[in-house]
Structure 1
């Protein structure tokens, strides 16, 4: 198995890269998707969050109010650390379960937004980081996600810097152009860095 840690800052284009890697044949484990599932009603993640932060982080129908939780977390590193201490162990346990089921011949990609912040880079054969200019990321968050510029910059500031991610990366894909340009870079990276390290398809026996 070839293990790849995929990371990148918010609005960097990491999700686009993740989808392309899946199309190319990778087994992708999405930490954000796992976290969201664990925060559904009745799941241990939501129960832990409510126990720690109280019912004010719930909507009237008992679901997680992500806006209310975000307002608490992104302005206070200590509060964010308390949230991470609840969610991250649960996410890692589920990711390990999915990885064990992937099979020895897989190219296993773990899509982890906070890979650097949580110190996980050392457990992968290859760390792939998606990077985009900060101002472009702010623009995407404001125009595509409806955030205010202040909120967008706060989200970026709450994560590792480009320099911190690059320092632990084997490859940095720069997303500074069109979507197609990014996809072409993903394809080239896959061809040069992944395909040669995967098992060759079995050849038929010839009689």
Structure 2
């Protein structure tokens, strides 16, 4: 019969094995664009129905206000309204495929038992045996513009070069470049690393001038 300690250790192992994944959640995702497009299409339908109902109640011409709305600016609203359902259909198909198969392009960061995965333009997985630390820094990328970045440190603390770019692979801090997105809370990253690799230190170094 397994002891209470064995059950506790098994529970801890199961908890540790769960990966910590950060995905895009701003306006750049397919699901968000699909939701906005659907809302816009619904608004156009309601506008058309509203015009028809109001004009019918008043006993006035329905054609004139509809032409004033949909044929203005050279018929641009009408062209947009005709093409929008096609775009929504394509977006719905894409969203359905994303539910069936994880889209790696939307994964910004993964922390699991194997190591740390950094997404972006140059995705890379760094195993824990190579990692000496994880830190958050703010680099001066342009004049008075500080950009927060996540760095996976491959160099020991006492041998760090002056330039943070030589510390190891990095990526923009997850969520900072997304429209209406939420930056990853530092505490969540620290907790995820502590669960998977308690020996790896996580630090927030603030603004660092290279």
Same fold (TM over 0.5): no
TM-score range, shorter chain: under 0.3
Indicate the structure with greater strand content.
2
TM-score (norm 2): 0.23
Indicate the structure with greater helix content.
1
Q: Which has the higher contact order (CA 8 A, sep 6+)?
A: 1
